Amino acid sequence: MVYDKIDDAVDEILHRISSNKALLGHPVLVTERIEPPQDIELPAIFIVPVGESGDSVDFHLTSADTEHSFQIVIIGYYTFRDTTHYRTLRKYGYECLRLVKGMGQKIRSLNIRGHARIQFGYYTMSDTLIYSFSITLDVKTMGV
């Protein structure tokens, strides 16, 4: 089932990130979550399966299988005390992309379409400046 494939892929991403925390600024929390951080200790990395664009499902007339296209989003949240934070944030973002891309064109049984986007930004929460990277993986799989 598609939901099992998604769960397997999320578990693999969580494992790879958790096994390489030193490369990513030692996040204290690595979890599957869709809500933005509030009242949690940073740094943290969230995995958002089936991102905001949802799951686009194509039905096939000749089989029971359907083709699913969706996104998995990985978001890292950080606070910094020094002036090298822009470079450090970029480093963490690209290291995380490398860890995920290091799986080849598949994450378990999900095909990565050879396309990912990485963005960097910041926002203010309770007078604290929060910096973030966001990696969006375009995923395609067959299933019911």
Reported pTM: 0.86
Domain architecture of the chain: domains with CATH: 2-143 (3.30.70.1700)
First CA to last CA distance, the chain:
6
CA–CA gap between residue 2 and residue 48 (Å, rounded): 16
Give the pLDDT confidence of 42-85 residue by residue, as tens digits.
999 999 988 778 888 888 777 778 888 888 899 999 998 776 78
Residue 45 confidence (pLDDT): 95
Indicate the length of the chain as a whole number: 144
Give the pLDDT confidence of 94-115 residue by residue, as tens digits.
999 988 875 556 666 666 666 7
According to DSSP, residue 51 is labeled: -
